[in-house]
Amino acid sequence: MAFMTVRGAAAVLGVHENTVRHWERRGLLRAVRLPGSGFRRFNPEDIQALAASMRSPFGPHASSPEIVETGQVARAWRGEVIDE
């Protein structure tokens, strides 16, 4: 399996690279660090799952406050560590 770089993950998620790094530090994403350089690599399945959860509040249930308030991104924004 090929892991994704920070840049690739940011492109898929539609966010800045620093946002991906911040989400990794906060626990929203899990990264593998390369020995020596310490560069982050992300599992593409994790990135796709997060991308899907980011799109879901804008779907047909956007009027439901529970979906917006309890999504993974909202939980990470509040500082909760996501460990699933």
- Say which residue, 79 or 21, is predicted with more confidence: 21
User: Is the confidence at residue 76, as pLDDT, over 70?
Assistant: no
* Per CATH, domain 6-77 is 3.90.550: no
Asked whether 26 and 72 are in contact (CB, 8 A), the reply is: no
Give the pLDDT score at 56: 65
Asked whether 17 and 6 are in contact (CB, 8 A), the reply is: yes
Q: Residue 67 — pLDDT band, cuts 50, 70, 90?
A: very low
Asked whether 3 and 44 are in contact (CB, 8 A), the reply is: yes
Residues 63, 60, 20, 82, Cα dihedral to 10°: 70
Give the pLDDT score at 60: 45
Give the pLDDT score at 54: 80
Q: pTM for this one?
A: 0.64
How do the domains of the chain map onto residue ranges?
A: 6-77
Q: Count the Cβ atoms, other than its own, within 10 Å of residue 71.
A: 15
